[in-house]
Amino acid sequence: MRLARLAQRARGLGLAETCAPLGGLGLRCALGAALAGLAEVDDLCHRAKLRRATERCKGKHGTDSRGPETTDVTERPRLTLDQLRVFVAVAERQHVTRAAEALNLAQSAASAAIAALEGRHHIRLFRRAGRGIVLTEAGEAFLPEARAVLARAEAAEAVLDDIVGLRRGRLALHASQTIAAYWLPRHLAAFRAAYPGVALHLTIGNTGQAAAAVRGGLVELGLVEGAVHDPLLETIPLARDQLLLVVPPDHKLARLGQVTAKDLRGCDWVLREPGSGTRSAFEAVLLRLGLSLPALRVVQELPSNETVRAAVEAGMGVTVLSASVVAPSIEAGLLVRAPLDLPARPYLALRRRDRPPSRAAEALLALVMSSRSKARGSAPG
């Protein structure tokens, strides 16, 4: 009887086809996390509704004579993953039409999903704001729960995807800007050629954001430069990157035989934002030189490598960036490498210690390691 009920829920979640070959045990394993998550969101909505009913009962001078609105919970239609997907898409875009387009749905279907979700709990999740819509207080509380359930459902489907041997599946990555722009693309292309059925979902941010995404379970792998100190995360060395101090061609540092700590204090600096791996690596260099960031004259902080590079090319100041980022500018004569020896920094993969890696993640890491070994073997002696 319990297996029959699970099978019925599987059809509602859209997992029935992939669960069918696994039998009863596989069905229970694959659906457990998703069903538990739906129950949590269901409970959250019901508690929110009860709070609203209680507030309606409390008049300004006593109890509202109308009493709380009652609903038979057992007869209400159940939450579905499709409703949650629509809700999250609308919340992120603040627009029903754009959310429907992103999900390849008709606008009427997206509107119906939101209406069903709100009607089931007699609660408003959105309100009008100009030409768009924004979340209500209840919607703000519901959004992280809905995202968590969808993440659990994706994890359940990933179990099934692993069983078919990487013929299909999904791997979520969060890479720092330097890695995403200059190092990762060739590895993603090689992975795509080897496993065309596995969808790669890449988010780009700084090192701190990548670590937070892995820690929070939003992605399986983070790809960052520099050290990340978090007992929950395992770090796997992937490659090495060289940092360079670069200046405009007519800058005084370009004419020196060797840059000293005193020279660094006398310059205007353009740096990446806090949380950037490039900035963290530079701060570590300063400590070895007996300096700290407050000792420098930082005139501008910018959120990307390219904007920092362009600002230095325009004469705003000097900076430290990856050799991969500044190589085209040095070749074009727009920047010059100043004589300061900087240590190489590692490129690292981050993953949760308490979660076994998926086959897709293992395959990507193995491909990167193989590429590194081949590069070492072909290097001239």
Placement of tokens 């700590």 in the chain:
261
Question: CA-CA-CA-CA torsion for 314, 319, 322, 327, nearest 10 degrees?
Answer: 40
DSSP string, 280-328: HHHHHHHHHTT--GGGSEEEEEESSHHHHHHHHHTTS-BEEEEHHHHHH
Domain 166-239+346-378 has CATH 1.20.58.220: no
Helices (H), the chain: 2-13, 16-19, 23-57, 81-93, 96-102, 107-121, 137-163, 177-182, 184-194, 207-215, 261-265, 277-288, 305-313, 323-331, 359-378
The DSSP secondary-structure symbol of 340 reads -
The DSSP secondary-structure symbol of 248 reads -
Cα(379)–Cα(372) distance, integer angstroms: 11
Q: What does DSSP say about strands 221-225 and 169-176: parallel, antiparallel, or unpaired? A: parallel
- Asked if the domains 2-69+77-160 and 166-239+346-378 are classified in one and the same CATH topology, the answer is no
Query: In angstroms, what is the C-alpha Rg of the chain?
Result: 27
Domain 241-344 has CATH 3.40.640.10: no
Nearest to 120 by CA among 106, 138, 108, 103: 138
Please state the domain extents for the chain: 2-69+77-160, 166-239+346-378, 241-344
Structure tokens at 206: 């700084």
Q: Which residues of 7-25 are buried (b: 16+ CB within 10 A; e: fewer)?
A: bebbebbebeebbeeeeee
Distance of CA 48 to the CA centre of its chain: 29
Burial status of residue 95 (CB atoms within 10 A of its CB: 0-12, 13-18, 19 or more): middle
Q: How far is CA 210 from CA 206, 221, 270, 303, in A?
A: 6, 8, 23, 15
Q: Are 87 and 111 in contact (CB under 8 A)?
A: no
pLDDT of amino acid 227: 79
What is the CATH topology of the domain spanning 2-69+77-160? Arc Repressor Mutant, subunit A (1.10.10)
pLDDT of amino acid 380: 38
Angle at 124 between CA 129 and CA 120, to 5 degrees: 150
pLDDT tens for the 381 residues of the chain, in order: 444 554 555 455 454 444 444 444 444 444 554 555 555 555 555 555 555 554 554 444 444 444 444 444 445 678 899 999 999 999 999 999 999 999 999 999 999 999 999 998 899 999 998 888 999 999 999 999 999 999 999 888 887 777 678 888 899 999 999 999 999 999 999 999 999 989 999 999 999 999 999 999 999 999 998 778 999 999 999 999 999 999 999 999 999 999 999 999 999 999 999 989 899 999 999 999 999 999 999 999 999 999 999 999 999 999 999 999 999 999 999 999 999 999 899 999 999 999 999 999 999 999 999 887 665 554 433
pTM: 0.57
Sign of CA dihedral 185, 191, 194, 200: negative
